[in-house]
Structure 1
Amino acid sequence: MKNKNALLIIDMQQEDGFVLEHFDNVVANTATLLDTARQLAIPVFYSRHINPADGIGLPPGEPRAADGGPASYRSGTRQVEIIAALAPQPGDAVIDKPRYSAFHQTDLDTQLKRSGVTTLIVGGVLTDVCVLTTVFDAFALGYRIRVITDACTTTTLAAHYSALLIMANWVYSLELLTCAELLRALEGKDFISCAPERPDLFAHQPHELAGTIERLQSRLQRQAQE
């Protein structure tokens, strides 16, 4: 089973243009995932979002600096490098991407299929942008996906949970689980996760968002008595 998994860490780069919720905790959990993957010989893939320094080929409306180049994730700068605490090791794969999804205009799918990978364990940033689009593309390409909810983050908790709820509603090959529960799963122990049981599982109106987040959290948390 373990040799069909791969760990995909999305855009954990030095770019500091965003203030991210609980980022230190996400880094710590990501480090745990990396250590475990390497101990179990699970292939590790990183993605890096890199915009060309000259600005050529940027999507319409992409924020630009005064010189016409990209305002963030500019090639040739330290900001595009993976943060030191999570630095790739020999044998890890680093996928450079020009758009949100790690599959867009990259050979990630080819590399995964060549390695026999059928399940992606996903963490990284931003939950509501690059993680979300990568997960939808992975689903379309036929992968099973495990999103580690406390190894992802974005600029607000509302956006983080909104993205998780969107994925839980429509990505039918998905499991959401915490880092601790993933470790239990990889050890062959009983574990808790949230997997879609039907379309629009977490349907809600705007005024119900807080309650829906609580409902999702209750599906992810191990009860104290356990």
Structure 2
Amino acid sequence: MDESLEGTKTALVIINMQNGVMEYCVHPKKVISRIQDLLARARDTGTPVYWVQDEREFERHSTPWRMVAALEPLDGEHRIHKSYRDAFTGTGLHASLIAGDVGRLVVCGAQSDYSLRTTAGRAAAMGYDVTVVRDAHTTGASTFEGQSLTGDQIIAHTNAYFASLDYPNQDFSLERSEEVGFRPVVLND
């Protein structure tokens, strides 16, 4: 692992949980509920939270652009506005994670096959340890070149991809939301 990525903290990364995205996703209530639980546990332990928001498709501050009502960022939590599937491209995400001593990302959210997979895969390639929350990401059905996949098939394929991800000297996991652990953050005096 690159020395600059040997951070000691974990961060929760919540991707694209926006009104305009969620209206096309499968199992929205279940996924929102699981992310609410992850968020509560992260906040209780002082784990940094990063909200990733897509600005390519929605006008800023419009109803579709806003996060779903059940998931609201608090003041002081990180807001990442992206224009590409990869939340690292053209944003300050990497610099913010490095400055915050973050070395492990717990990733959940929407657009399993696009933004979540691209961001988590990029994080792994950059040297971060990555946990994908297998039951806290969602997407909608998709058709490409005459082949149709349901949202559930895409979620299963995304989970299969991360179940076998491997880079030297890094930890990767695919965990159910109730299995994800956050250690309390200890502040140095």
| TM-score range for the pair, normalised by the shorter chain length | 0.7 to 0.9
Distance in 2 (CA, whole Å) between partners of 1:123 and 1:26 is 9
Query: What is the deviation of 1:18?
Result: 4.8
Match of 1:217 in 2: none
Q: Secondary structure at the match of 1:37?
A: helix
- Tell me if the contact between 1:136 and 1:171 (Cα under 8 Å) persists in the aligned partners: no
Residue 98, structure 1, aligned to residue 83, structure 2: yes
Match of 2:31 in 1: 26
CA gap 1:11/1:171 in 2 versus in 1, 3 angstroms: farther
For structure 1, list consecutive stretches of 5 or more residues without a partner in the other structure. Answer: 52-71, 189-226
State the aligned residue count. Answer: 165
Query: What is the deviation of 1:91?
Result: 1.2
Distance in 1 (CA, whole Å) between partners of 2:80 and 2:63 is 16
Task: Normalising by structure 2, report the TM-score.
Answer: 0.81
Query: What is the deviation of 1:108?
Result: 0.2
Pairing of 1:1-226 with structure 2 (within 5 A): 4-16=9-21, 18-51=23-56, 72-155=57-140, 156-172=151-167, 173-182=171-180, 185-186=181-182
- Tell me if the contact between 1:6 and 1:117 (Cα under 8 Å) persists in the aligned partners: yes
Task: Normalising by structure 1, report the TM-score.
Answer: 0.68
* Greater relative contact order (CA < 8 Å, ≥ 6 in sequence): 2
- Tell me if the contact between 2:21 and 2:110 (Cα under 8 Å) persists in the aligned partners: no
- Tell me if the contact between 1:5 and 1:117 (Cα under 8 Å) persists in the aligned partners: yes
Query: What is the deviation of 1:78?
Result: 1.8
Distance in 2 (CA, whole Å) between partners of 1:143 and 1:16 is 27
Match of 1:215 in 2: none
Q: Secondary structure at the match of 1:133?
A: helix
Distance in 2 (CA, whole Å) between partners of 1:187 and 1:96 is 27
Query: What is the deviation of 1:82?
Result: 1.0
Residue type at the aligned position of 2:89: H
For structure 2, list consecutive stretches of 5 or more residues without a partner in the other structure. Answer: 1-7, 141-150, 185-189
Residue type at the aligned position of 1:162: H
Q: CA RMSD in A?
A: 2.0
Higher strand share: 2
Query: What is the deviation of 1:163?
Result: 1.3
- Tell me if the contact between 2:15 and 2:51 (Cα under 8 Å) persists in the aligned partners: yes
Query: What is the deviation of 1:187?
Result: 6.8
Report sequence identity in percent.
Answer: 29
Residue type at the aligned position of 1:179: S
Structure with max Cα Rg: 1
